[in-house]
Structure 1
Amino acid sequence: MAEYLIVLNKDEDTVSIVDAHSYEIIKTVETDYNPHEVVITPDGKKTYITCSLGNKMNIMDNDTFEITKTLEHPDFNFPHGLGVTPDGKKIFMASTYSEKVFVIDAEIDEITNVFPTYQKLSHMISFSPDGKTVYVPNIGSHNMTVVDVESEKVVNHFPVGRGPEGVAVHPNGRELYVANQDDNNLFVIDTETLEVLYKRRIGTCPVRLVFSPDGKYALIPNRESGELSIIETAFELKGKVYPWEVKRIRVGVWPGGIVFNPEGTKAFVANNKTNDLSVINMETLEEEAKIKVGIHPDGIAYLVK
């Protein structure tokens, strides 16, 4: 079984295919302008790449590591965040400046639905663990849009902090974590009541949020302060359990995209301005290596095939 890191290099319009064990780049793939975010289908067969400044989506065959199809649409205006349903049949994509959500049929790779959020700067896509709900953070209107996956309709909006960008639902499905880049803080929200359960101050300009596979940790890259906030989601202190920042470590300049290996033993952080990845040992919570990639790496995914 082979394992790879799929790393998007925004300022050279390429994808680095990196062996996840040797850390060697085995292939460099050309893309359209400004590859930004990435998602891999659950079966590992295809990779979807939003080329934000090129207003295109590239689709890569993971057997050959070749771009086999490109999607375009008049309302692709900075296509950005991506997510895939657990069954791999649908791709959801947020287009930031058109403030719309696109649905792509992953079997035929065609756009089947487009609908507006009616909010400002709809930027990312985050699925609930059961695949029934999509959360879309709206950077400009400081709120979250809730989309029902089956009906492909907006069902709710609710306020969060200023400039929400990093967002993910805990694997238990009960808590939504939101990193607010303008407030430099983390909200932990009850997914049923939408009550803010906890607020935590983190670093400067948090831009992503990813849970470890077991849900023990949430990792948040703080772009402007060049740090990685490590949140233990059930930290016990004096008989009470909280989400708590247990460590903040230096990584590269402008950390962005993050991905875990399937075992959760390592995390990989794309450092936009140092053109490398930080390898985080999740047992020691330390950076153990750096991997050189292309210019301005950001979107990153882990492929097992």
Structure 2
Amino acid sequence: MKPLIILLLGSIALCSCTHPPASYKGEYPDDVRVIVEQKCATAGCHNDKSYENAAGLRLDRWEHMFAGGNSGSVVIPYNTANSSLMYFINTDSSEGPVLQPTMPVNGTPLTAAEYQTIKKWIAAGAPDRTGAVPFASDAATRQKVYITQQGCDLIAVVDAQTNLIMRYISIGVSNAIETPHCVRFTPDGKYAYVSFTSGGYLQKIDATTDQVVDQMYLGDGSWNLFHIAPSGKELLITDYEGGKIELIDLEKMSIEMTYEDFQNPHGIECNAAFDTFYVTAQFGNTVYRLTRSGRVKELSIDGNDPNHKADTYNPHEIMMTPDRSRYFLTCQTSNEVRVMDTKTGALLKVIPVGTFPQEIALSHSKPYMIISCQEDITPEYPGYKGSVYVIDYNTMEVVKRIPGPFYQIHGVSVDDKSGKIFIASRNVSSTGPAPHHTSQCGGRNGYYSVYDLNTFQPVTTKRYEAAVDPYSSDIRFKD
């Protein structure tokens, strides 16, 4: 397994600090508490009186540290490499990144021993004085969002209740960036799988422990999207550049069947029996209908002969309605969603949406398809790019267009339990908003936003910074 790649998160404000009163007591372990009292949770800095002007980060109690700051989490339990607090208290480059300003500002930096105390504490899970580790309770039932970080070979694990990154999972096999593309949970929420466009492996993650527990070699290829069977026992995955589709036995972690000679296969859907599959051809006007036995039929989405011309519709993602009577296609060149009749293959409706529509998330509590439009220009938010369209899949009408302070949004997830939409902004262009920090794996940090499924308004104004190129996302429990 490759080593974890360092991510710089959070934001620590410039401030002039003085010591807190001697009566201050926190819930940190005593050795950590003494350091935080003297160097962090001080007047003018990260205490209860001044934290709002210190990047919103309050540190006077353990529980406040794990409420994060204006940019989200600053300490990731068990993960010193991705805890941005470490960079601002470090003065020794041999120990890791050293970022300015060194904390405490205008005060005495942490000694080497104090730095090691904080580092060992985070590596042990950053527990409170009773030994409780943040976000460790209810591991089997905790609602989470997984977001692939294409530029760092990481998965951000977001706690759906607090909206904060609670863990990072290091993925991939080699030391090179393998570009994790798609992540999906099994229907029971026990496991997740991740594919790579620059690596030949499929990896399996235990969603209770957030650890990679198995992997299999698919063969050389650009492994893009996949669809997990309703049983959770099989998976169908596309090789975008190699033109292959593979059927995987997830219990044996082995290839059951390889189907070949497709033109840029990408998005995948299936029937209830998981024996008939619908696969988008990324370029042109074509969807493949593939049976388990290997029969293939090309279906046109515009009434013309099937073709693979890049200047037409270019269907990217496909999503079926819950009864599987219709499927919706994001057409990234024509900037529309096309609705097709599953049984007859007839075009039912063309729905104009924003520029470069990409991913689709399905709500299970409301009749909504949530569409990310990556390059949409939003006059309401000058300097930003991207919008979300909400479509009622029964009426096939746009319910809401959601503009926001996004930049190149791609992955979207719906948490019906809490009524939230999680929206990932890739932010890979240099014209996007400047990240709070840089990342050692190169590129620009992205971020995610959280919106209310009922009102379509922001749940919070926070922009939760994540690693480089947050791309695909999925919610753990759908119902």
Q: How does 1:1-305 map to 2 (within 5 A)?
A: 1-32=141-172, 33-74=178-219, 76-116=220-260, 118-129=261-272, 131-148=274-291, 151-160=292-301, 162-214=313-365, 216-225=367-376, 226-234=386-394, 242-251=395-404, 252-263=406-417, 265-273=419-427, 275-289=446-460, 290-304=463-477
With the length of structure 1 as denominator, give the TM-score of the two structures.
0.90
Task: Return the structure number with greater relative CO, CA threshold 8 A, min gap 6.
Answer: 1
User: How far did 1:112 drift?
Assistant: 1.8
User: How far did 1:178 drift?
Assistant: 0.8
C-alpha contact 1:129 1:169 (8 A) present in aligned 2: no
Would you tell me which structure has more helix in proportion to its own residues? 2
Secondary structure of 1:183's partner? coil
User: How far did 1:68 drift?
Assistant: 2.3
If you compute each CA radius of gyration, which structure gives the higher value, 1 or 2?
2
Would you tell me which structure has more strand in proportion to its own residues? 1
With the length of structure 2 as denominator, give the TM-score of the two structures.
0.58
User: How far did 1:142 drift?
Assistant: 2.8
C-alpha contact 1:178 1:187 (8 A) present in aligned 2: yes
CA distance in 1, matches of 2:361, 2:207: 23
CA distance in 2, matches of 1:157, 1:287: 41
Residue by residue over 1:73-130, the C-alpha shift from the partner in whole angstroms, topping out at 9 and shown as x without a partner, is 33x41101011111111011111011111111111211221112x3321012223455
List gaps (5 residues or longer) in structure 1.
235-241
- Equivalenced residue count is 294
Letter in 2 for 1:249: I
Letter in 2 for 1:80: N
Residue by residue over 1:186-240, the C-alpha shift from the partner in whole angstroms, topping out at 9 and shown as x without a partner, is 1111111111011111111101122211451111111111011111233xxxxxx
- Percent of matched pairs sharing the same residue: 21
Instruction: Compute the RMSD of aligned alpha carbons.
Output: 2.0
C-alpha contact 2:163 2:450 (8 A) present in aligned 1: no
Letter in 1 for 2:195: T
Pick closer, same or farther for the CA change 1:227–1:130 going to 2, 3 Å. Answer: farther
User: How far did 1:38 drift?
Assistant: 1.1
CA distance in 2, matches of 1:170, 1:300: 19
Over 6 Å off, 4+ runs: none
Residues 126-135 or 28-37, more deviating: 126-135
CA distance in 1, matches of 2:293, 2:420: 34
CA distance in 2, matches of 1:182, 1:195: 21
C-alpha contact 1:120 1:141 (8 A) present in aligned 2: no
